[in-house]
Amino acid sequence: MDLGKERAAMVERQLRRRGIGDSRVLAAMGEVPREAFVPEAQKRNAYADSALPLSHGQTISQPLMVAMSVEALQLEGHETVLEIGAGSGYQAAVLSKLAKKVYAIEIIPELVQHARHALDSLGIDNVELICADGRKGWPEGAPYDGIVVAAAAEEVPSALVDQLQEGGRLVIPVGGKWGQSLQTLRKRGDKLETEELCRCVFVPLVYGS
């Protein structure tokens, strides 16, 4: 099995042909080996057009969802970004190619450990992984040019809006357990411009202590 070929095919069939147009996003996802982030038993499915199971009932998002979320941030390479729900670390690895500095928060310690190992093994050194409740954001790294949330929220956590730079974008699945709307919110003074990207199903954000 040639995973490099499968990765290229994933970029072409699952992303480009379905409307992902940002060449930097396509290049980043053509570069990051998804197989380094999925559990051993799932390696042969690494380029499946679906979410894949991680431990602790969590999932690594479908490639198209990762591409849509990171594309919506409209990154150029000089930004500081925050990811909530780092899971396997795959999306953080993709973001590491698109922004200058990435803070990635994950609430489950074992997943943080695995993600850290995977990122280290690829020599990715601009991602800071943090084990914490991401609903509070991460004030230490704020303000952020972009924030991407990889778990569903009933309501947009206000801390995330507070930690967003003026003009910055927050991408977040908003809604209940069974389905959400993936939204981009752009901070303009006191206002938030909201755009709906698509319907989606993410695992819920859990409440930390």
Active-site residues: which are they? 61
Q: How far apart are CA 31 and CA 60, in angstroms?
A: 17
Q: Which residue is nearest to ligand SAH (CB)?
A: 85
- By CB under 6 A, is residue 133 in contact with ligand SAH? yes
Q: Residue 123, Cα to own-chain centre: how many angstroms?
A: 19
Q: Which of residues 63, 134, 146, 175 is near ligand SAH by CB under 6 A?
A: 134
Among 10, 60, 174, 182, binds ligand SAH (CB under 6 A): 60
Determine if 205 is a binding residue for ligand SAH (CB under 6 A): yes
Interface positions, 71-130, toward ligand SAH (CB under 6 A): 84-88, 90-91, 105-108, 111
Which of residues 58, 180, 183, 184 is near ligand SAH by CB under 6 A?
A: 58
Contacts (CB under 6 A) with ligand SAH, residues 137-166? 150-151
**Which one, of 124, 125, 129, 90, lies nearest residue 107 by Cα?**
129
200 binds ligand SAH, rule: CB under 6 A = no
**What is residue 3's three-state secondary structure?**
helix
Cis link prior to 143 (omega < 30° from 0)?
yes
Pairing of strands 59-60, 52-53: antiparallel
Residue 199: CB atoms within 10 A of its CB come to: 11
67 near ligand SAH, rule: CB under 6 A:
no
DSSP class of residue 12?
I
Query: Count of CB atoms within 10 A of residue 56's CB?
Result: 11
Residues forming contacts to ligand SAH in the complex (CB under 6 A) are: 58-61, 84-88, 90-91, 105-108, 111, 133-135, 150-151, 203, 205-206, 208
